[in-house]
Amino acid sequence: MTLVEQLAAFVTRASHSDLSETAREQLKIRVLDSLGCAIAALDGEPLRMIRIIATFRQREIPQLSMTRWHFNFLSGPGPTHPHRL
């Protein structure tokens, strides 16, 4: 089993009581830090571009779900890829 598989197995079976007090405190810090980074990035250029592209794609194909758009956007250049807008 690879290290990543071992980590995934631990995460899926671990409970709050399996973590030491120190680990629980560090987890809180990491989660709050991640949330802070995500909130701070809301007005950033990458997210502005994603919103523009998502709006454009939704107008182009109204029935397109965000999940489908996300997959298409990440899978590479297409007719409405950002580099072709």
Both structure tokens of 61 = 């194909």
Mean pLDDT of the residues in the chain? 77
85: pLDDT strictly greater than 50: no
Contact 68, 53 (CB under 8 A): no
> For 41, which DSSP code?
G
State how far the Cα of 62 lies from the Cα of 57, in Å rounded to an integer. Answer: 8
Rg (the chain; Cα; Å):
19
State how far the Cα of 12 lies from the Cα of 5, in Å rounded to an integer. Answer: 11
Residues 31-69: pLDDT tens digits? Answer: 999 999 989 888 888 888 888 888 877 676 655 555 554
The proportion of the chain whose per-residue pLDDT surpasses 70, expressed as a percent, equals 67
Say what the pTM is. 0.47
pLDDT at position 67, please?
53
State how far the Cα of 57 lies from the Cα of 17, in Å rounded to an integer. Answer: 45
pLDDT at position 81, please?
46
Q: Which residue has the higher pLDDT, 48 or 75?
A: 48
